[in-house]
Amino acid sequence: EDQVTQSPEALRLQEGESSSLNCSYTVSGLRGLFWYRQDPGKGPEFLFTLYSAGEEKEKERLKATLTKKESFLHITAPKPEDSATYLCAVPSYTSGTYKYIFGTGTRLKVLA
């Protein structure tokens, strides 16, 4: 069964303290792994797409990497404005049925 699991559920960092968020996935035929950021009371905002193992994408203090089983979102020297919930998702198209499977997210809080 297609599945996405994110860890940890919540993470508190001091400003400048680097860390990584994990997204483990199981899907038949990877069409891409997507990272989104969601601020409280708002819809998810697209960050990155990764398509194949070994691929990396960067945006400001964020870097996403992909292996055959998981993806990491590395946050380098975070700032309070990086506080948000980070979601990963994988699309799946099996037996004529389309799914877009989201993990439950990692709630990141960066303290000044």
Partner 1 sequence: NAGVTQTPKFRVLKTGQSMTLLCAQDMNHEYMYWYRQDPGMGLRLIHYSVGEGTTAKGEVPDGYNVSRLKKQNFLLGLESAAPSQTSVYFCASSPDSRLVSTDTQYFGPGTRLTVL
Residues that bind partner 1 (CB under 8 A): 31-32, 34, 36, 41-46, 49, 87, 89, 91, 97-100, 102-105
Q: How far is the CB of 12 from partner 1 (least distance, A)?
A: 19
CB of 19 or CB of 49, closer to partner 1: 49
How many beta carbons lie within 10 A of that of residue 26, not counting itself? Answer: 14
| CA–CA distances in Å: residue 27 to residues 4, 55, 87, 99, 100 | 8, 18, 17, 10, 11
Angle in degrees, CA 95, 44, 89, rounded to 5 = 35
Q: How far is the CB of 60 from partner 1 (least distance, A)?
A: 19
Q: How far is the CB of 25 from partner 1 (least distance, A)?
A: 13
